[in-house]
Structure 1
Amino acid sequence: MTFKRKLNGWMAAALAALAAAVAVPLLAQDGNRTEPPAEAPAAGGSAFLVSDIDVDVVAGSAEAARVAAFREAARQAWPQLYARMTGVAASGAPKLPDSAIEGMVSGVEVQSEHFSDKRYVGKLGVVFDRVRAGERLPANARVLQSAPMLLLPVLADGGVTSVYEGRSPWLQAWSRFGTDSSPISYVRAGGNASDALLLTGWQARRDNRGLWRSILSRYGAENVLVAEAWLDRTYPGGPIVGTFLARHGPDSAVLTRFRLRAGAAGELDAMLDTAVRRIDSAYARALQSGVLRADPTLTLALEPVSVSPMLDPAESMGSMGTTVSVATPDAASWNAIEAALGGVPEVDGVTLLGLSIGGMSQIRINHAVDYAMLRYALDQRGWRLDGSLLRRRAEGEVPLPRPVVTLPSLPVADDAVTESGGPRDLMPSENER
């Protein structure tokens, strides 16, 4: 079966309309067509989609130009797909004849097109069958696929920020996107009440790793992706300018930023679909370069561990807690801190409140002694507690002196009164001794 014969089935309706307009000059047709022909298979499930392929072909007729454009799009899409799925450069893709590429293609999506009687200009997406395309990958190749990533599609429109509250146009655009054609394993929330409460625009910018660790554990993800869309509407029903950002991680690092414009409100969905594809491409490039990966600090199973000896019940009732910040440049540093505090008898237990690798982590130290004695005990082990900051004692820094312990006052007996009615000293005087 030739490439032309394969496409003719679902092109028939489009070519019928084209035949009536072959004499119309180039660009006279709608330049913002975004819906694929009705017979084109949707990307997703068992398909890979490579989008945004620009073609400009001249042939003997309108039909010949369009078929040649589809063939050229598939020819360009194959190296891109190979690079996306294997992580190697597009130039390293096997050189295949058109017949071999035709065997992998299951359809073409028309994102936009303009044509005349002999010329076809368009932006196309090529849909590859997952199984047949997979057979063309080298036997020892590892198909590049990310760890599960929680997606937060943040939309700011008209002064209102939404994520999973309701069905925003931005959330619907991500729902339309065929994620099976992407190397990113997106995790999307269902949009129930708890999702709307946890996954907010405010949470998207918070760098609290302890909270992120709990959220990602809930959704079975290993990192977070924040796709932001900021819409600026000129007037109701008029042009819309969208500013889009692709962020990743609890620190909201920006991978890409770009702007798109919709000529009218009716073109909003098309603009958002284009933005989704561009953001996904940015995430795919970051995955290939090693920038986007699972964050081990967000998946550590860190449970509060008691590091104190057995305490007398009466003593444990008087245990206090002090919350401090401590530098944790890497994951191993937390283990060293935990072990060091575990060797201090005055410490009843340690609870990790928030781990920030490369920053300041929050911990709670439980202790039965007062703050001054705790500070002294830690100082004896080489740790200096200054207010709410715990740090290593600097070389040459003078150790803290042992705090003076103030004994509690002895109770005064009811009959221990002087002649004047005031209390008298119960300690014997020199003469009484």
Structure 2
Amino acid sequence: MRHSLPLPAWPRPALVFGALLLLCAAGFAVWAQISGERGIAAVAATNDIQVGGIEVDIHGDTGEEARQEGWVEAQRKAWEKIKGPKLSDSQLTSMVSAIVIERERMGPKRYIATLGVVFDRTRASRYLGSEGQATRSAPMLLVPVTFTAGSQLVYEQRNPWQSAWAQYQPGTSRINYVRPSGAGGDSILVTYGQTGRRSRTWWRNVLDQFGAADVLVAIANLEYSYPGGPVEGRFTARYGPDNNYLGSFTMKAADPEQIPAMMTRAVTRLNGIFEAALADGTLRPDPTLNIGTPDLSPAVAQLIAQGRAEQARQRAEAAQRDNPAPTTTTSEPAATPTPTATQAPAAATSYTVQFASPDGAAVDAAIAGVRGAAGVRSAATSSLAIGGTSVMRVSYAGSLEDLAGALRARGFTVRQAAGGLSISR
């Protein structure tokens, strides 16, 4: 006969201590999702015209003299690169705001460098004509994705592709980039998984956080030949909530140390793809992302006002039947209810509504349910917290009590406090 030994009894303090350790570990995991040095702030965008990648190799009597002559030569080459008319060196110097040193080596009598030249747009535009006054796109949220070693990286940690876009100066670009820093909640809100979602409501909530009209996805797929060897990068441009393809190209770096330089060049080429798509009309904000409630036409507004007037008349008649006026001896005929005159729609008021948001589907359902309530003009999230409690701003033609009643009619459980509402199902 087999006998089983009794399991040792754990002391109650040990169990409590173990539970606390697990809670601390879980809290640390959540904190680690948004902590760490992952943010890279984008350089301040200016309207100046920046031309990079200008290579010079100049000889002179001294290294400093060769350097000065190299800068003048860089101004000429940069001006030719943007197809400016022939001007003297003094005219070009008067338009240059800065010289950006990308890489340089200076010897006793020689200067070799790769430079960037920044022209003041106000002064240069009169020579460049329409090229200096090109129409820019709507604000576009940029999502830089890196594929490497079977993983997809956006803002989860600092990376060369994120850095290349953060350092890019889009003064000459027709694309109005919105570049998140990647710090704080950006690493949770903007992920590679987000590019695969098709929900317009979900995308509108993300875009509203950054003040963008649509999204651009820049993908860098890196393939390493062997440790320390050549690296091939395939770069792809996509846009919109449907992740539409725009174009792609391939570049190579001799070794991993050359990856940042390769990505800097890739950013410029991808910008060219985005600009070409804008020029041919492909890169336009998706109209399905504009999910706000449209303004009512005057005819529809008048019909709504007439309906409300009729409802008011019927309520008045019902109240008169339930509470008849006392009989009087006056010979004057009793006044009959007069239909309420047609009035303009009541002005909308903005209210705060809190709701539980365990996942994206719950957010979509809550917003759709609130928008379907009678009298609601618009509803959009003002604070999004997946796995917690989110907040939306609701524009409603009526009082807070009326809004609560309309939401209850939609099947919500409504609690009113502190000038706002909290809803659940």
TM-score (norm 2): 0.50
Structure 2 partner of 1:379: none
Q: Is the 8 A contact 1:44 1:180 kept in 2?
A: yes
Q: Is the 8 A contact 1:151 1:188 kept in 2?
A: yes
Alpha-carbon distance in structure 2 between the residues aligned to 1:102 and 1:262: 34
Structure 1 partner of 2:214: 223
User: Residue type of the partner of 1:221?
Assistant: A
Q: 1:273 aligns with which of 253, 258, 264?
A: 264
1:101-150 deviations in whole A, cap 9, x for unaligned? Answer: 22112344455679999998875432223444356565997443221110
Structure 2 partner of 1:78: 79
Structure 2 partner of 1:199: 190
Q: 1:177 aligns with which of 153, 161, 168?
A: 168
1:332-351 deviations in whole A, cap 9, x for unaligned? Answer: xxxxxxxxxxxxxxxxxxxx
Structure 1 partner of 2:97: 106
1:79-102 deviations in whole A, cap 9, x for unaligned? Answer: 654xxxxxxxx5xx5543332222
Number of aligned residue pairs = 266
Alpha-carbon distance in structure 2 between the residues aligned to 1:140 and 1:230: 33
Cα distance 1:251–1:74, how it changes in 2: closer, same or farther (>3 A)? farther
Q: Describe the SS at the equivalent of 1:297.
A: helix
Q: Is the 8 A contact 1:44 1:179 kept in 2?
A: yes
Cα distance 1:281–1:77, how it changes in 2: closer, same or farther (>3 A)? farther
Instruction: For structure 2, list consecutive stretches of 5 or more residues without a partner in the other structure.
Output: 1-42, 297-302, 309-363, 373-425
Question: Is the counterpart of residue 296 in structure 1 residue 287 in structure 2?
Answer: yes
Cα distance 1:140–1:206, how it changes in 2: closer, same or farther (>3 A)? closer
Q: Describe the SS at the equivalent of 2:245.
A: strand
1:25-68 deviations in whole A, cap 9, x for unaligned? Answer: xxxxxxxxxxxxxxxxx99557431124466x787879788766
Question: Is the counterpart of residue 127 in structure 1 residue 127 in structure 2?
Answer: no
Alpha-carbon distance in structure 1 between the residues aligned to 2:286 and 2:72: 41
Q: How does 1:149-164 map onto structure 2 within 5 Å?
A: 149-164=140-155
Q: Describe the SS at the equivalent of 2:272.
A: helix
User: Residue type of the partner of 1:225?
Assistant: L
The range that moved more, 64-73 or 258-267, is 64-73
How far the C-alpha of 1:167 sits from its partner, in A, is: 1.4
Q: Is the 8 A contact 1:217 1:299 kept in 2?
A: no
How far the C-alpha of 1:191 sits from its partner, in A, is: 2.3
Q: Is the 8 A contact 2:66 2:111 kept in 1?
A: yes
Structure 2 partner of 1:263: 254
Alpha-carbon distance in structure 2 between the residues aligned to 1:116 and 1:164: 41
User: Residue type of the partner of 1:206?
Assistant: R
How far the C-alpha of 1:227 sits from its partner, in A, is: 0.7
Structure 2 partner of 1:50: 51
Q: Describe the SS at the equivalent of 1:281.
A: helix
Alpha-carbon distance in structure 1 between the residues aligned to 2:283 and 2:67: 38
RMSD of Structure 2 on Structure 1 (CA): 4.5
Q: Describe the SS at the equivalent of 2:197.
A: coil
Q: Is the 8 A contact 2:222 2:232 kept in 1?
A: yes
Cα distance 1:172–1:66, how it changes in 2: closer, same or farther (>3 A)? same
Cα distance 1:43–1:149, how it changes in 2: closer, same or farther (>3 A)? closer
Q: Is the 8 A contact 1:48 1:180 kept in 2?
A: yes
User: Residue type of the partner of 2:225?
Assistant: T
Q: Is the 8 A contact 2:201 2:291 kept in 1?
A: no
TM-score (norm 1): 0.49
Q: Is the 8 A contact 1:246 1:279 kept in 2?
A: yes
Q: 1:285 aligns with which of 265, 271, 276?
A: 276
1:215-254 deviations in whole A, cap 9, x for unaligned? Answer: 2223210111111011112233332221111222223233
User: Residue type of the partner of 1:293?
Assistant: R
Alpha-carbon distance in structure 1 between the residues aligned to 2:260 and 2:60: 35
How far the C-alpha of 1:187 sits from its partner, in A, is: 1.1
Cα distance 1:95–1:144, how it changes in 2: closer, same or farther (>3 A)? farther
Percent sequence identity is 39
Alpha-carbon distance in structure 2 between the residues aligned to 1:230 and 1:67: 40
Q: 2:205 aligns with which of 211, 214, 223?
A: 214
Q: Is the 8 A contact 2:121 2:132 kept in 1?
A: no
Alpha-carbon distance in structure 2 between the residues aligned to 1:43 and 1:75: 26
Question: Is the counterpart of residue 252 in structure 1 residue 246 in structure 2?
Answer: no
Counting helix residues as a fraction of each chain, which structure ranks higher? 2
Alpha-carbon distance in structure 1 between the residues aligned to 2:227 and 2:188: 30
Cα distance 1:255–1:98, how it changes in 2: closer, same or farther (>3 A)? farther
Q: Describe the SS at the equivalent of 2:248.
A: strand
Q: Is the 8 A contact 1:245 1:256 kept in 2?
A: yes
Q: Is the 8 A contact 1:62 1:115 kept in 2?
A: no
Cα distance 1:242–1:208, how it changes in 2: closer, same or farther (>3 A)? same
User: Residue type of the partner of 2:178?
Assistant: V
1:347-399 deviations in whole A, cap 9, x for unaligned? Answer: xxxxxx79xxxxxxx99xx9xxxxxxxxxxxxxxxxxxxxxxxxxxxxxxxxx
Q: Describe the SS at the equivalent of 2:232.
A: strand
Alpha-carbon distance in structure 2 between the residues aligned to 1:102 and 1:165: 43
Alpha-carbon distance in structure 1 between the residues aligned to 2:80 and 2:207: 34
Q: Is the 8 A contact 1:43 1:181 kept in 2?
A: no
Alpha-carbon distance in structure 2 between the residues aligned to 1:143 and 1:200: 32
Cα distance 1:287–1:116, how it changes in 2: closer, same or farther (>3 A)? farther
Instruction: For structure 1, list consecutive stretches of 5 or more residues without a partner in the other structure.
Output: 1-41, 82-89, 311-352, 355-361, 367-433
User: Residue type of the partner of 2:153?
Assistant: S
